[in-house]
Structure formats: C-alpha cells, structure tokens
Amino acid sequence: MPEGRVPAIQDMLEELLGLHPSATTLLRETIETVLHLATLGNVILVGRGAAVITHPLSNVFHVRLVAPLEQRAEKVMKQRQITREEALEFIKKEDRGYKLYLKDCFKADSEDHMLYDLVVNTARIPPDNVACVIGEAVMSWARTQPLLLHSRDASQAQGQPTVFL
C-alpha cells in the first residue's frame, strides 16, 4: 500500500477486477499486523503509521530520525544514482505521500513530535552512534517501565518492548 493517494475510481476499478484488495482492506490488514507485531514485542517497525497505530500502547518506544534536507538529498543521490534535483523531487514526493497517508488514514500530523519518545538528528550524530543512542534510550526507558507481561491481546499490549522508527 503506497503512502500516498490512489485515485478512488482507480482503486475501485482495480478492486473490482481483482487486481488488489481495497485500500480499506489494506489499511485494516496493516493496522492488525502492526498491532500483532507490537504485542509479540522485540521488533523494530519502520513506517506504515506504526507510531500512530501504537501510540496508546505501553510496551512501545517510538523513535523518529530526522536530518536536514541537504543531507537527505546527498544520501538519496548516492543510493539511487540520481541528480540533486531528482533527489530533492523524490524526497518532496515521499514526504508529501507520508503526510497525506497519516492525515487521510489516521487523522494524524507527521510533524507531531509528541508521537515519539526520542527524536534523533542524524546530521549531528554519526550513524554508528545513532544506534548506540537509541539502544541506550530504549534500555533506560525499559528499566522505568512496570513489568511487561506477554499477552496475545493487542488491546492490552503488554508484550515485550517494541521500537518503532
């Protein structure tokens, strides 16, 4: 399911033709999968609105990684072997898609930093150190939590600690 909009008519036609499940079905399955994994614990999930879906759960630690546009563009240029202008356009499109996905599907704001327990600026901390910072923060947080008991009931969400990026 792309983190962007698919025109409603296109979605309905493709669903009727059996090309894919409806956007509503995909969203429901995504939510159920994220909640199931969060309940199991000891997982790291990236994207798909996981921070919003799991925000009310007590066994999760939410991390957001941020970086200046220029640094992000450099990384995309290297990964995709594209020009700076193409990288900037790619980032703009991805950011816009993610914002719309959160807004349309969850009525959430992607810039709401209160969804996260830790926000790390990767321009200021080297990559190897970012993992250490997150690891230390999770361990510190876990020590302050009441005993988390394993449960298969996602509504209780008392599984092992889970980290979402």
Kindly state the tokens that stand for 134. 């997150």
Which amino acid type is present at position 91?
A: I
Task: Give the residue-averaged pLDDT of 147-151.
Answer: 48
- pLDDT of res. 24: 86
Domain range list for the chain:
8-67+112-164
Residue in the block written with tokens 């898609």: 97
d(CA 64, CA 164): 8
Q: Assign 86 to helix, strand or coil.
A: helix
**CA–CA separation, 3 vs 1, rounded Å?**
6
Contact 135, 11 (CB under 8 A): no
Model pLDDT for residues 95-129, shown as the tens digit of each residue: 999 999 999 999 999 899 899 999 999 999 998 89
Distance CA 66, CA 27 (A): 25
- Model pLDDT, residue 141: 93
pLDDT at residue 19 greater than cutoff 80: no
Query: Is there a contact between 41 and 159 (Cβ–Cβ < 8 Å)?
Result: yes
Give the strand pairing for 60-66 and 44-45: unpaired
* Percentage helix, strand, coil for the chain under 3-state DSSP, each rounded to 5: 55, 10, 40
For residues 12 and 98, what is the distance between their CA atoms, to the nearest angstrom? 22
Alpha carbon distances (Å) from 161 to 32, 39, 45, 76, 98? 18, 9, 12, 31, 25
pLDDT digits (tens, 9 = 90+) for 40-93: 888 898 888 999 999 999 889 999 999 999 999 999 999 999 999 999 999 999
For residue 101, the model assigns a pLDDT of 93
pLDDT at 150: 41
